[in-house]
Amino acid sequence: MGENGHKMDEPGSQFTYEEDRKRRLGRNRLVQFWLCAALWVVSVVPLARESMHGREGAGAVAVYMAVGAITLGVAAVIRSIYVLLTKRKFWWSPWVFLLAAVVSIAIFLVQSAGPGGVISAVLAQSGGV
């Protein structure tokens, strides 16, 4: 008997071990996607607010979308390099969102470092500040 009271290895049984395992792994993967995507969304908010510079309305939405696209794009490039180097079959993974969250947090930390930060120095040299 299995943990749900079903006979697991008998022919014709409702659930087999492999089917149960496949369902459980599918549910776990879905939960991983949702958690990593939620972490990414939450980590994009402070970075977008730091980048607002007085924008409101559609401009503010555009900043959020741009920050999300940039962080997801950088994460996609990192994941693609990993997939190519390890010769994996599957590119799409919860790791893409987790990497995007880490990239977003790293950019926020650099950007909010103040006047002596890396981003401020680059913008000052180009005449952007």
Tell me: the pLDDT tens digits for 8-39? 555 555 668 888 888 888 888 889 999 999 99
Contact present, 48 and 37 (Cβ < 8 Å): no
Q: Residue 119: is its pLDDT beyond 60?
A: no
pLDDT band of 102, cuts 50, 70, 90: very high
**CA 72 to chain centroid:** 7
Contact present, 93 and 125 (Cβ < 8 Å): no
- Write down the pLDDT at residue 100: 92
List b or e across 75-111, with b for residues whose CB sees 16 or more CB atoms inside 10 angstroms.
beebbeeeeeeeeeeeeebbebbbbbbbbbbebbeeb
Looking at this protein, which amino acid is placed at residue 46? P
Mean pLDDT of the chain: 78
Q: Residue 50: is its pLDDT beyond 80?
A: no
Q: Which sequence spans correspond to the domains of the chain?
A: 17-108
DSSP 6: -
